[in-house]
Amino acid sequence: MTGFKTFLLIIFLTGSSCYAEYYSTPLFKAEWKLNKGPSYCLLKQDITLYGVAEFMHQSGRLLRFSIRENRFKPEIVKASLSVDASPWIHGSFRDIDHLVYLDQSVDIQNYPRLSVYGNTAEIMLDALSQGMFPTFTYVRADVGGFLPETSVAVSSVNFSKIYDQFVECRKGHLPSGLKTALEKSLFFKSGSKQLSSRVLSQLNDSASYLKEVQNSRIIIVSDTAIAGSRDKRWFLKRANIISEKLNKLGVEKDSITIRSGIHAATTDAKTIQLSVFGPDALKAIYYRKGNTQLTQNEKQRLELLVYYAHAFLPTSKLIIKSHTDSKGSRANNLKISQKRGDEIKRYLVSKGMDENKVLVKAYGESKPVKSNRFPTGRSQNRRAIIDFAG
């Protein structure tokens, strides 16, 4: 139900209540209706001889308050929204004029819609609950210039009867911004499966959401899946611990899914995607004989390490330990290991690491992890390992 939005200029009103066209539902016809869906609550009022006014709460999105005329007319070029006292109260007033958007191509009929979002829509919801009349005022234009103002007042009559139902319906859907807040990465220290206090707090928030929102679920994925099979072992260990903790917090097992490999962010507003982030699969780089350059995949993994360092260990240093196999002279192997370490450092610094926090230690062939007698062993020895210190 989204479409192209055009920001409209505010009209600064003169206080006159004379309009070329004025629309408002008569008191005895004013009625509000509530429609519910799997991911939305829609509260609407038909406006006699005009169209419809509505509040739309879609899971994970800002509240929208709109009017829409059920026919085409000349283009709207200026619009504002204010609050009027109810007609039966002597006199009227106008508060500040709120910014209005022109939403185009919003449904199959493509009738334009005037809308306000977020806090302004919440203000209008409160105004109606207090017996006030939100009033859209706008100006159209044709080839001859501006046309006289049109005013559309949304009636608060009978609003209180359904207001509480709309509020309750909204509680069953994801509030705006909460999905983003819950989907922050769950960080782990290298080699650790322990849930930090930060992770525990995030899991508590996620569990609370799942218990409140009907048909919601959690998918656990890896932020470091680009490392392939090296990532899977650590990810599954951590994901299973997270799942067990969620179970203890009251989340049903069939509401939790663990998915290894690369996954795009979910667009389902009722699905929370928890991303596990551990540096283990990112720390090692292996080289062909004599090579000192980084592949594109290795650069991507280093970028993730920079993100991890900034987000989770901002005061730590990175130590690059660079090694070779035993083929060739020791002096040359030491130079190659230094070049490999320096190239990794250069790339890390180019991506935002503080140069003073990146150290290179070149060991050449002096610290093999496998025998150099066979090719498979030598391939394991041609490596650079990146560790965090401090």
Q: Do 34 and 66 have their domain in common?
A: yes
CB burial of residue 148 (10 Å; 0-12, 13-18, 19+): exposed
- CATH number for position 269: 3.30.1330.60
pLDDT at 10: 47
Q: Which of 235, 258, 280 is the last residue of a domain?
A: 280
Range of the domain at 327: 283-389
Q: Do 184 and 156 have their domain in common?
A: no
Question: Which one-letter DSSP state was computed for residue 98?
Answer: B
pLDDT at 16: 40
Walk along the chain (390 residues) and give the pLDDT tens digit of each residue: 445 555 555 444 433 444 578 999 998 889 999 999 877 899 999 999 999 999 999 876 789 999 999 888 888 888 999 998 776 665 544 556 788 998 876 665 668 889 999 889 999 999 999 999 999 999 988 888 888 899 999 999 999 989 999 998 887 776 666 677 788 899 999 999 999 999 999 998 888 878 767 678 899 999 999 998 889 999 999 999 999 999 999 999 999 999 998 888 777 767 889 999 999 999 999 999 989 999 999 999 999 999 999 999 999 999 999 999 999 999 999 999 999 999 999 999 999 999 999 999 999 999 999 999 999 999 999 999 999 997
- CATH number for position 135: 2.60.40.2540
Q: Which of 237, 253, 280 is the last residue of a domain?
A: 280
Alpha helices per DSSP H over the chain? 119-129, 159-171, 178-182, 197-212, 229-248, 296-312, 330-350, 375-381
DSSP string, 122-186: HHHHHHHHTT-EEEEEEEEEETTEEPPPEEEEPP-TTHHHHHHHHHHHHHTSPPTTHHHHHTS-E
Question: Other CB atoms closer than 10 Å to residue 49's CB: what's the count?
Answer: 11
Q: How many domains does the chain have?
A: 3
Q: Do 118 and 251 have their domain in common?
A: no
pLDDT at 4: 53
Q: Which of 140, 171, 202 is the last residue of a domain?
A: 171
Q: What are phi and psi of 80, to 5 degrees?
A: -150, 170
Q: Do 148 and 12 have their domain in common?
A: yes
Q: Do 15 and 99 have their domain in common?
A: yes
Q: Do 159 and 59 have their domain in common?
A: yes
Q: Do 158 and 266 have their domain in common?
A: no
Q: Do 23 and 123 have their domain in common?
A: yes
Q: Do 9 and 155 have their domain in common?
A: yes
Model pTM score: 0.60
Q: Do 149 and 14 have their domain in common?
A: yes
Q: Do 26 and 127 have their domain in common?
A: yes
Burial 202-237 (b: 16+ CB within 10 A, else e): bbeebbebbeebeebbbbbbbbbbbbeeebbebbee
Q: Do 14 and 157 have their domain in common?
A: yes
